[in-house]
Amino acid sequence: MEARLMKESRTIQTKLVLPPDTNHMNSIFGGKVLAYIDEIAGITAMKHARRQVVVTASIDSVDFLSSAHVGDVLELEANVTSTGRTSMEVYVRVKSKNLQTGEERLTTESFLTMVAMGDDGKPTPVAAVIPESEGEKRFFETAPARREHRKQRAKTPR
Ligand SMILES: CC(C)(COP(=O)(O)OP(=O)(O)OC[C@H]1O[C@@H](n2cnc3c(N)ncnc32)[C@H](O)[C@@H]1OP(=O)(O)O)[C@@H](O)C(=O)NCCC(=O)NCCS
């Protein structure tokens, strides 16, 4: 299977924070942000794998660094940063923007593992990914350490 450039999977989404998405302090629910993260990661992985069905195998730890309020916009950006045989690591960054002041803040960032599913409902191989820019290469080169960390976490008794 022919490898694909990392930038080919790049996906950007903008979401307006609306009252039903927020708590009584007008701050967006963390679960809502997670749903957006999962959605964009799915689209990004589908683009790379060129498959209609991908599933979320795991979401690495998510730290919420700042909040977003009603009327702010969330800008999400995602890329496939590395691949295994059937899995893809997807990096997602979420920024919030106050449209009146123009102030931008990093809300959160996370890595997800998405798995491509074949027509038989089983994991199916994906193309390798080729990083080009310095930033892309950094994500790619640090991916094996994150993959190992996930493996160790999965082995940890609960
Ligand atoms: C993810 C899933 C497809 C893995 O199936 P499986 O039978 O364990 O298949 P495999 O062991 O062949 O694993 C497939 C790939 O997933 C990766 N994987 C499996 N579990 C993982 C986990 N918890 N975290 C990260 N990667 C994982 C494997 O490393 C493998 O990657 P590789 O092919 O690149 O080496 C299966 O557990 C599943 O369907 N889970 C539910 C997914 C879902 O419904 N998500 C939505 C929210 S509930």
CB-CB contact of 106 with 93 (8 Å): yes
Determine which helix (DSSP H) or strand (DSSP E) holds 14, and give its type and residue range: strand 11-16
State how far the Cα of 45 lies from the Cα of 143, in Å rounded to an integer: 16
| 158 located within any domain | no
State how far the Cα of 123 lies from the Cα of 136, in Å rounded to an integer: 26
Sign of the alpha-carbon torsion through 30, 50, 126, 140: negative
What are the backbone dihedrals phi and psi of residue 127, each rounded to the nearest 5 degrees, phi first? Answer: -70, 155
| 157 located within any domain | no
| 79 located within any domain | yes
Q: What pLDDT, in 10s, does the model give residues 28-78?
A: 999 999 999 999 999 999 999 999 899 999 999 999 999 999 999 999 999
Q: 98 alpha carbon to ligand 1 midpoint, in Å?
A: 38
Report the domain count for the chain: 1
| 52 located within any domain | yes
Question: Could you tell which of 34, 56, 87 is best to mutate to test the pocket of ligand 1, judged by most ligand atoms within 8 Å of the CB?
Answer: 87
| 49 located within any domain | yes
Which pLDDT does position 57 carry in this prediction? 97
> Which residue segment(s) compose the domain that 56 sits in?
4-151
CATH at 10: 3.10.129.10
| 120 located within any domain | yes
What pTM was estimated for this model as a whole? 0.96
Q: 88 alpha carbon to ligand 1 midpoint, in Å?
A: 10
State the pLDDT confidence band at 158, using cuts at 50, 70 and 90.
confident
